[in-house]
Chain A
Amino acid sequence: QQQVKQSPQSLIVQKGGISIINCAYENTAFDYFPWYQQFPGKGPALLIAIRPDVSEKKEGRFTISFNKSAKQFSLHIMDSQPGDSATYFCAARIVYAGNMLTFGGGTRLMVKP
């Protein structure tokens, strides 16, 4: 059973545009939702994270929107740049139950110059 579903699988955006990646989760016990960025041959690197008691969090060009009732959250990348081209993973974890991450399937983002 896939506990975190991510869409789309791939995304092409023009430079300067907005990239939007969506995730949905099933387990209501999840209480921490990070987004990771992964470049080829590298490990995932934390971008931004949110707790479910907050509806939105912004850090620079990256914004997480969180809808607890719908069990959905999304990543918005404003003013997308070619250097943002990477694979993005949403994840979820239960902080008080081991901290292991449950990842979505990933979105391969390409930003065209």
Chain B
Amino acid sequence: GAGVSQSPRYKVAKRGQDVALRCDPISGHVSLFWYQQALGQGPEFLTYFQNEAQLDKSGLPSDRFFAERPEGSVSTLKIQRTQQEDSAVYLCASSPIFSGQGNQPQHFGDGTRLSIL
């Protein structure tokens, strides 16, 4: 498909388990973003990649959260020792340009809904 693809769409895990969420950006898109959207809230920034480089991880809520994009395309967001407060929709977005190159929009995937029991 032509859009941002995220998998799985739904993930249920027990508290304390590790989870991995995958994002396939639009082919050729340089920038990739992860956001966390709590129920009834706006998305909140987690981290940002430009190709394989993680340029900003200031939004990651704790050191249990880790993201990577080793080949500059697919990205994985990993959450270790999950807690109930990690329950949210995790959104991935991609953009075709480098930071600072104008106002190209971010294209969002449909997210992964994570539920921690």
State yes or no: do A and B come from one complex: yes
Q: How far is the CA of A6 from the CA of B43 in the complex (A)?
A: 13
Say yes or no: A99 contacts B99, CB within 8 Å: yes
Cβ-based interface call for A62 (8 A): no
Interface residues on B, range: 20 to 34
Q: Is the interface of A mostly helix, strand, loop or mixed?
A: loop
Say yes or no: B103 contacts A32, CB within 8 Å: yes
Cβ-based interface call for B25 (8 A): no
Q: How far is the CA of A109 from the CA of B107 in the complex (A)?
A: 22
- A55-82: CB near B (< 8 Å → 1, else 0) gives 0000000000000000000000000000
Query: When A43-B111, A44-B108, A95-B103 are in contact, do A101 and B43 touch as well, CB less than 8 Å?
Result: yes
Report the tally of A-B residue pairs with Cβ distances under 8 A.
65
Cβ-based interface call for B48 (8 A): yes
Interface residues of B in 40-72 (CB under 8 A from A): 40-45, 48, 55-56, 59
CB-CB under 8 A from B48, the residues of chain A are: 98-100
B65 to A: closest C-beta gap in Å: 16
23 A-B pairs within 8 Å (CB atoms) are namely A4-B42, A32-B103, A34-B105, A41-B110, A43-B93, A43-B109, A43-B110, A43-B111, A49-B105, A89-B42, A95-B102, A95-B103, A98-B48, A98-B56, A98-B99, A99-B48, A99-B99, A100-B33, A100-B56, A101-B43, A102-B45, A106-B40, A106-B42
Binding site for A on B (CB under 8 A): 4, 31, 33, 35, 40-45, 48, 55-56, 59, 91, 93, 95, 99-100, 102-103, 105-111
